[in-house]
Amino acid sequence: MSEETSPTLMQSLDPRKISNDSDDCATLVEIDRSCRAPLLIFIISGLIWLLIGTGLALIASIKLHNPNFLSGWSWLSFGVVRPAHLNTVIYGFCSETGIAVALWLMCRLCKTPLIHSGIIIIAAVFWNIGLTIGIFGILAGDSTSIEWLELPAYSSPILFISFALIGIWTVIAFRYRREPMLYVSQWYLLAAFFWFPWLYSVANIMLVLEPVHGTLQAAVNWWFAHNVLGLWFTPIGLAAIYYFIPKIIGRPIHSYHLSVFGFWSLALFYNWNGMHHLIGGPLPAWLVTISIVASVMMLIPVVTVAINHHMTMWGHFKAMKNSPTLRFIVVGAMSYTLASLQGIASAIPSYSEVVHFTHHTVAHAHLGMYAFFAMIMFGSMYYIIPRITNREWPSAGLIYIHFWAVFVGMILYIVPLSIGGFLQGLKMNNPDVPFLEVVQMTLPFLKFRTLAGLLMTVGHIAFFANFIWILARCLQPYREPVAMILKGTIGLESKEENS
């Protein structure tokens, strides 16, 4: 690694920028190698959180159709396990792998090695400590019962510190980039790193540390919870899509103009959407109306992004057959469009009247966070991990199992539950149907969901096994042929034919 050209920590923090005269960009191998330790920490812990979160999800899912299951302990009761699940997968799996992917993309696009990896490692340690304390807090009954902000007041500041460190690192990395031009993914990433700490700190102050009064809490709550999706996860997910699709098929994005336009229209409309979670609720009508309008306006960025991705992929869909990353990414990109359209529909009052308060919302949340975001993260990790460890994925079979299990599992989860939730809403809005009949009607769908969840669990275990295996391989000496294939050296296909 070119140690001479990377600044010391003190230099980096100095507002007077030292001249960065090495205009030769770092090589890919250099960048990837510099990412190894910090990224692996985030990825390992993220995947452990994924397994924990999956376990909690299964427990919660079974409980909904089998209420006596594990009902003897307060820390395993439904109202505890469900927020514990949400927070492990959101702040554990999705945020940690999201940060890892974002850091790697940042280094690749800035064409600079990951400098000051110590900051990132410390941040990862803090993040995990804060989250562990918080999850135990939820299990112990300290959940705040504020959706998406259940982590108790004694753990969220630790997460914030960690995030501040990552923010500082991003600024430094950005300042010392060796490629002056910016790619659209960097727009998204910088925006996400700017928006999230702002959202998280404001929401925690106004709801947990110094709570505001009355239903204003609900306004802050949904302003935050909706924006975490739109201004934290969505930008990271889209940044990865914008990088990986062109990179893998070797063809630039269809229209760079459209991609920039999509970014800005997202920034403009998304942050006004949150109040559509409160349609019909005890808040002023104007507030909710603004959000409904903004939600419908989301059609613009969503359609823009969808067209752009589709046109880029046009004629290259068969590449999905050969590339694990591309499979996950394309499925994720399509789910993004679907999730957004479903979200827009749910913001329309006559539709919301039916589906609000039902399992439809749960299905929608999983379409967004799982079928879109988690799939993008899986795909990105399939690309990144071999490059930072310099080893090939040990088993193609496990990749197939992972893909098909989560792909089928997610369809079996989302489609039936969306329909079930819609029917549930229709029944609930018919006062002649007794409530227990509504409950009974949802049970088959809930059972089906447990099955789908089991399938997804199989996929996660396959992925984790493959990951542990590749880590184990790191202990073995480096082998040339492996690296050649990773770099996509031409002629792979022809080699395949000889053997």
Partner 1 sequence: MNFGPLIFLGIFLSLASSWCGLILIPLFQFGKMEPVTIEMTGEIYPQPKGGEAKQGMSVYRSNGCIYCHSQQVRPRGFGADIERGWGSRRSVGRDYIYDNPVLLGTMRTGPDLTNIGQRQPSEDWHFSHLYDPQITSPGSNMPPYRFLFETRPIRNGVVSENALKLPANFAPEDGFEIVPKKEAKALVAYLLSLQATAPLPEAR
Partner 2 sequence: MVFYWIIILGSAICLSGSAVFALWWAATNNQLSHPKKGALLVFDEEEPMGIPTDHFPAKSTAVPPSETGRGGRSV
Partner whose binding site includes residue 119, from partner 2, partner 1, ligand HEC, none (CB under 5 to 8 Å by kind): none
* Nearer to partner 1 among residue 290 and residue 482 (C-beta): 290
Place of tokens 């059972």: 447
Q: In the set 72, 180, 282, 431, which binds partner 2 (CB under 8 A)?
A: 180
Q: Is 17 helix (H, G, I), strand (E, B) or coil?
A: coil
Q: In the set 399, 412, 423, 446, which binds partner 2 (CB under 8 A)?
A: 399
Which residues inside 212-231 make contact with partner 1, applying CB under 8 A?
A: 212-220, 223
DSSP class of 320: G
Partner whose binding site includes residue 492, from partner 2, partner 1, ligand HEC, none (CB under 5 to 8 Å by kind): partner 2
Q: Does 367 bind partner 1 (CB under 8 A)?
A: no
Q: Does 477 bind partner 2 (CB under 8 A)?
A: yes
Which residues inside 99-138 make contact with partner 2, applying CB under 8 A?
A: 109, 111
Cβ atoms of 30 and 1 within 8 Å: the answer is: yes
Q: Does 428 bind partner 2 (CB under 8 A)?
A: no
Please give the Cα distance from 77 to 417 (Å, whole number).
Answer: 22
Q: In the set 207, 344, 423, 455, which binds partner 1 (CB under 8 A)?
A: 207
Partner whose binding site includes residue 28, from partner 1, ligand HEC, partner 2, none (CB under 5 to 8 Å by kind): partner 2
Nearest CA to 305 out of 348, 264, 355, 350 is that of: 264
Q: Does 271 bind partner 1 (CB under 8 A)?
A: yes
Q: Does 311 bind partner 2 (CB under 8 A)?
A: no
Which residues inside 16-55 make contact with partner 2, applying CB under 8 A?
A: 25, 27-28
Cα within 13 Å of Cα(49), Cβ side: 29
Cβ atoms of 134 and 90 within 8 Å: the answer is: no
Buried b (16+ CB within 10 A) or exposed e, 57-92: bbbbbbbbbeeeeeeeeeebbbebbbbbbbbbbbbb
Q: In the set 5, 51, 142, 160, which binds partner 1 (CB under 8 A)?
A: 142
Which residues inside 436-475 make contact with ligand HEC, applying CB under 6 A?
A: 436, 439
Nearest CA to 33 out of 120, 107, 125 is that of: 107
Q: Which stretch, 130-138, 190-198, 394-402, 434-442, contacts ligand HEC (CB under 6 A)?
A: 434-442
Place of tokens 């969840």: 453
Which residues inside 77-96 make contact with partner 1, applying CB under 8 A?
A: 77-80, 82-83
Helices 28-65/95-110 angle, 10° precision = 160
* Nearer to partner 1 among residue 5 and residue 217 (C-beta): 217
Which residues inside 50-79 make contact with partner 1, applying CB under 8 A?
A: 63-65, 67-68, 71-74, 77-79
Partner whose binding site includes residue 267, from partner 2, partner 1, ligand HEC, none (CB under 5 to 8 Å by kind): partner 1
Beta strands in 230-348 (DSSP E): none
Identity of the residue numbered 124:
A
* Nearer to partner 2 among residue 240 and residue 438 (C-beta): 240
Q: In the set 78, 351, 422, 469, which binds ligand HEC (CB under 6 A)?
A: 78
Q: Does 184 bind partner 2 (CB under 8 A)?
A: yes
* Nearer to partner 2 among residue 266 and residue 438 (C-beta): 266
Q: Does 79 bind ligand HEC (CB under 6 A)?
A: yes
Please give the Cα distance from 316 to 248 (Å, whole number).
Answer: 10
**Count of residues touching ligand HEC (by CB under 6 A):** 6
Nearest CA to 328 out of 382, 367, 364, 365 is that of: 382
The dihedral over CA atoms of 162, 167, 169, 174, expressed in degrees to the nearest 10, equals: 160
Q: Does 252 bind ligand HEC (CB under 6 A)?
A: no
State the minimum distance, in angstroms, from the CB of residue 227 to partner 1: 8
Please give the Cα distance from 227 to 234 (Å, whole number).
Answer: 9
DSSP class of 373: I
Q: How many CB atoms lie within 10 A of CB 350?
A: 8
Q: What is the DSSP string of 73-118?
A: -GGGSHHHHHHHHHHIIIIIIIHHHHHHHHHHHHHHHHT-----HH
| Residues found near partner 2 in the complex (CB under 8 A) | 25, 27-28, 109, 111, 179-184, 194, 198, 202, 205, 210, 243, 246-253, 256-257, 259-260, 319, 322-326, 382-383, 392-396, 399, 476-477, 479, 481-482, 485, 487-488, 490, 492, 495-496, 498-499
Interface positions with ligand HEC (CB under 6 A): 64, 78-79, 435-436, 439
